[in-house]
Chains A and B, each alone.
Chain A
Amino acid sequence: MKINRILKKTLAGLIVSGLAGAAFSAEVGVHAQLNNLIKEEIQSTEPLGNGTLNNFYERQGFRDYLKAYPVSELSDGFVWEVGMGEEYTGPVSGLQVKAPFSDYLPVPEGNVLNPDKQYRIGFAYHGANHPWLVGLADTAVHEASLHPNIRLEVIDSEFDDNKMGQVIDNWIAKQYDAIVLWPSREAPMGPPVDRAIRAGIPVVSLDRRTSSAQISSEVLGNFYANGLQQGLYLNHVTGGKGNLIMNRKPLGSTADSIRTGAFLETIGDYDYTLLDSFHTGSQRSVAFATTSNALQAHKDIEVIFNTGADEGLGALDAVREAGRLNSAPGGKKIIFLLNDDSREAVEEVRRGNVDMVSPYTPFLGDIGVRVAIRHIAYKEGLTDTPPPKQILTPNLPMITQEKMVIKGIETITPDDWPYSFGPTP
């Protein structure tokens, strides 16, 4: 089974790269390169070759999550490259921001739509005390500031779905022109979004989805590419074997299901042993305590997979405290695989403690505001075509200490990655 699946993957890879012509060339862009690899490595209906991993994979329902998550081209034929984007001081965080996607679905600077009219856009999110979310707000507020006739009202719903629903209802009553939101959970935000749509107000969700089928646009991130690249890196450096533990985000969250599912798909035909899998609630202190315990239970951990930077950095602290950084069999270093390119995580790559980070940028708020402006333009008859319903953000390449080429993907070194978020450690 395993050899059969690997052969099929190889064949699929050849076909995909053949059909795509120069798919693996730099001109096509990293987004298309990674999408091709997703098609090659992940979008298979066959069981994983490694029986134990397959049982785990099926038991947790990863296949269903992966099937439902879109993988597609970028809107308007956009091709993203490292180095693109605008640099400024974040208006919310006060930190330096380089927003990678400020050229994606652009809207000219200055007054927009009807220049003599003021427009009101509501921006609702959660968690003004999390660097990722503060980064999201930074980009939304900055984008609005580029357009003098746009007034953006920012509300932190403090992880209270009910509060976010009330905020949306309030904006409906005030007849706002558009709403941009970062929903914490899918289901509770469906009804308020539907109410806004019925009231003729376009709604754009960022990063996470809502249960509304009527939502105007969804801006979705590169979760697939995260898990894929963690798996590709691991296969590349280990040759396909090792003992691993997982520190994961809450069960059922999109970030966990797509990243972990894609990771397992990518490593699932090789001889890895999954020692333990923990859900550490996106909390660094919980990941720290859990990893401390796991280190006592397992003396032969070779790999720690983490769905987010909080989990990964907590795990790293625990490993350092236990003096176990080089405790993998043969005195080798434990391999740390992380997502989310916080400045702290990227710095740990530079220091050689974390082996790779697959970036997931918070700097998406600007896209949300621009898409909202385009929806208003369509509503007011200023354009014939509405913005796309699903807007995929570009897949971003992984960050490693030294430049590497893995399955045609050129990795980026910390010095060459300008898009990190959060405070400098």
Chain B
Amino acid sequence: MTTVSVTRWFSSSSIITLIAIFLLISLIASLISPVFFNADNFQSIVRNMTVVGIMAIGMTTVLIAGEVDLSVGSTMAFSAMVGAALMDGGASGPVIAATLAAGMLVGLVNGIGVSVFRVPSLIMTLGMLALARSLGNIISGGQSSYPSDLSGFMFLGRGSIMGMPVAILVFAGVVAFSYYMLTLSKLGPALYAVGANQKAAILSGISAIKVKLFAFVFSGFCAALAGIVLSARLGQINPSMGEGFELDAIAVAVLGGASLFGGKGTVEGTLTAALIFGVLYNIFNLVGVSGHIQLVFVALIIVVMAYLHGLGERAA
């Protein structure tokens, strides 16, 4: 099989490939660690991937639209600190609402910068990465907050419904909504069309501005939601949270089949990739692979997947 045919096969059946990779890694993991095939361990893996998984779903939407969002980690921190500023009220609702609204606002600003003012998303979101992080520090005065008295807030990270952790249910909700949006709503085809060929999409009557605005706002929403889940699990809202998370979110999205060139990506692919990452991190930690080597692995995934997608594009 030539390289081109491998990449064509990869592109056409990426979800099958991903599931095969997941099963293979799981098999290896079970040989390395006898506790791997254990319901508790699997729940732990999924629970640990909820935060990055939610962010990766948002990132997938932006990548499908042909852009990238490097600010998700900082958006998470900024929106969490906005929510934390309302914590003294003692009610979860306003804190959650303010957090999500702040995340969407950051996404809106990114979207306006990219789609209206035509600032390349790499630059726009890189600037936002620094801006949102700094604003989070200013709002919080560099100090953490503790949401432990907000029962509704804490429930999103620590609660469970009939034995199922709420964090996993939140992730499942985001997956379900995104699946509906990309496959069953009118917005899905518009996102793919704008990402694959913006000029053609505009000529077909699609508003690229609206589509990209939606993608960035949704990414901001996902980052903020992931921040709520993370803060509730840790019992702490921290202005330095989310540092470097953009790398994981991009890696999961591209491993899941989203193309850095736009127009490609699926929710099921991102979900499977998130599980692959979860299993790999689980095994890395169990066998004592250092965090630095884990980062090398993440970087390699991004580069290799970008290369494969590039080959696929050229082959097509």
A284 sits at the interface (CB 8 A): yes
B309 sits at the interface (CB 8 A): no
**A296-B44 in contact (CB<8A):** yes
User: Which residues, 1 to 47 on B, are CB-close (under 8 Å) to A?
Assistant: 33, 35, 38, 40-41, 44, 47
A295 nearest CB neighbor, chain B only:
B44
User: Which residues, 123 to 143 on A, are CB-close (under 8 Å) to B?
Assistant: 127-131, 133-134
Instruction: Indicate with 1 or 0, residue by residue over A93-106, a CB within 8 angstroms of chain B CB atoms.
Output: 11100000000000
Partner among B35, B148, B158, B288 whose Cβ is within 8 Å of the Cβ of A278: B288
Partner among B38, B44, B288, B290 whose Cβ is within 8 Å of the Cβ of A292: B44
> How many residues on B have C-beta within 8 angstroms of the other chain's C-beta atoms?
37
Residue numbers in A under 8 Å from B155 (CB-CB): none
A95 nearest CB neighbor, chain B only:
B143
With A293-B44, A297-B35: A279-B291 Cβ-Cβ less than 8 Å: yes
Q: In the docked arrangement, what's the CA distance between A423 and B142, Å?
A: 10
Instruction: Indicate with 1 or 0, residue by residue over B125-155, a CB within 8 angstroms of chain A CB atoms.
Output: 0000000000011001111111010000000
> How many residues on A have C-beta within 8 angstroms of the other chain's C-beta atoms?
42
B32 nearest CB neighbor, chain A only:
A297
Q: In the docked arrangement, what's the CA distance between A397 and B43, Å?
A: 40
B211 sits at the interface (CB 8 A): no
**A134-B142 in contact (CB<8A):** yes
- Inter-chain CB contacts under 8 Å: number: 99
Instruction: Indicate with 1 or 0, residue by residue over B224-246, a CB within 8 angstroms of chain A CB atoms.
Output: 00000010011110111101000
Q: In the docked arrangement, what's the CA distance between A278 and B284, Å?
A: 11
Q: In the docked arrangement, what's the CA distance between A294 and B286, Å?
A: 6
**B48-A292 in contact (CB<8A):** yes
Partner among A130, A297, A425 whose Cβ is within 8 Å of the Cβ of B146: A425
**B137-A296 in contact (CB<8A):** no
A290 nearest CB neighbor, chain B only:
B285
A344 sits at the interface (CB 8 A): yes
Query: Which of A92, A279, A283, A293 counts the most chain B CB atoms within 10 A?
Result: A293
With A129-B240, A130-B240: A93-B44 Cβ-Cβ less than 8 Å: no
B282 sits at the interface (CB 8 A): yes
With A128-B142, A130-B240: A297-B137 Cβ-Cβ less than 8 Å: no
Q: In the docked arrangement, what's the CA distance between A95 and B233, Å?
A: 25
With A278-B285, A284-B236, A285-B234: A93-B142 Cβ-Cβ less than 8 Å: yes
User: Which 3 A/B pairs are nearest by Cβ-Cβ distance?
Assistant: A296-B41, A293-B285, A425-B146
Residues of A in contact with B (beta carbons under 8 Å apart): 92-95, 127-131, 133-134, 251, 276-281, 283-286, 288-290, 292-297, 299, 313-314, 317, 321-322, 344, 422-425
Known: A129-B136, A278-B285, A313-B234. 16 other contacts (CB 8 A): A94-B141, A131-B143, A277-B288, A278-B288, A280-B291, A290-B285, A293-B281, A293-B282, A294-B286, A296-B35, A296-B282, A299-B35, A322-B40, A422-B144, A425-B235, A425-B236
